[in-house]
Structures are given as structure tokens and as C-alpha cells.
Amino acid sequence: MIYTKQNVIDYVNEEDVKFIRLVFCSSKTVQKNISIMPNQLENAFEKGIAISSSHIEGFEKYGQIVLHPDPDTISLLPWRPSQGRVIRMFCDLTTTSGEEIVTSSRRILKEAIKSIKDEDIYFSTEFEFYLFKMDEEGQNTLIPYDNASYMDIAPDDKGENVRREICLSLH
């Protein structure tokens, strides 16, 4: 389904959405985001949201960049509360003078897709994640949660319950 700006605004108003995360990637494809309030959404669609880019790898030279949310990428974040919901949208990036940022990974991907649209080539995604132990102070470590291999089962695979909860939350 294709979503319009008005579809998103209506959804936000009807579904008790309190925060809208505007998502983009640094030049090293590290995901970044800012949150805006519902009363800022229309302005975000019309003019974009300017942010300081001086500390975002690959965008330092611009000083500021402008985030333009793509309404067709709207997604409800299921791990947030049902009251005061949170949605996210991926953003296109421009300079404050309106020029597209050519090093934006989203722009590069869109151009690649456009360049092969008549060829028999397809893009897809694959989700993989890893579970790691926490230390005594609750901080993340790089120690694997288990030593299972690809497609193992319990008791070697200790991630079954986590995957089950993720699937049920996303369903």
C-alpha cells in the first residue's frame, strides 16, 4: 500500500501517536534518528526538519541537513506502549539550500533500483541478529548468549524464546 502525507497525519491523530521518529543513515550506514511531536509533522512534510550534521560521520561539511520524511515508510514501533504510540519514517536528505545529498545511502539505493528497473534483478533483505550476554553491571558485552550454530535447536539454541516473543510482538 502507498501512504500519503495525509494518511500519516490522519493515522497520527486517530491512533494516539505521541512521537514520530525521523530515521536516516550516516555515510557509514549507521542508523540515526530524531523524534518530533505530532504538531511538527505537517511542517516536516512541507519543509523538512533541519538538524545539525556537524557530528554525523560523512555529513560534517554541511553544518546542517534537512530530513524529509517519506510517508510510504511509516511503521508503528510495536515495542513502544499502546498509549502514546511511536511511529518511524525513513527520510531523504537535502542541504539547507534544497540540494540532494549525493552520499546519502537511501539516495544511492534509490538510484541503483531506478537504474535496473527494466532488468531481471531483484533486491531483498534478510534479517539476522545476534544475542550477547550482559556483564554484572547490565552493560552489553561481545560474549555470545549461546554457542549454537545455524538452525540448531534447544538446548544448544537458547534464543528460541526471544525469537518467539519478537514474532508475537510483530504479528
Q: 74-87, pLDDT tens digit by residue?
A: 999 988 777 889 99
Region of poorest pLDDT, from 14-18, 88-92, 93-97, 110-114: 110-114
Give me the count of residues in the chain. Answer: 171
Enumerate residues 6+ apart whose C-beta is below 8 A from 81: none
For the cut 90, the answer to whether the pLDDT of residue 125 exceeds it is no
Q: How many CB atoms lie within 10 A of CB 62?
A: 19
Confidence band for 134, pLDDT divided at 50, 70 and 90 = very high
Q: 10 Å Cβ neighbour count for 44?
A: 20
Q: Is the pLDDT of residue 19 over 90?
A: yes
Residue 65 bridge partners (DSSP): 51, 95
What confidence tens digit (pLDDT) does each residue in 47-81 have? 999 999 988 888 888 889 999 999 999 999 988 77
pTM: 0.72
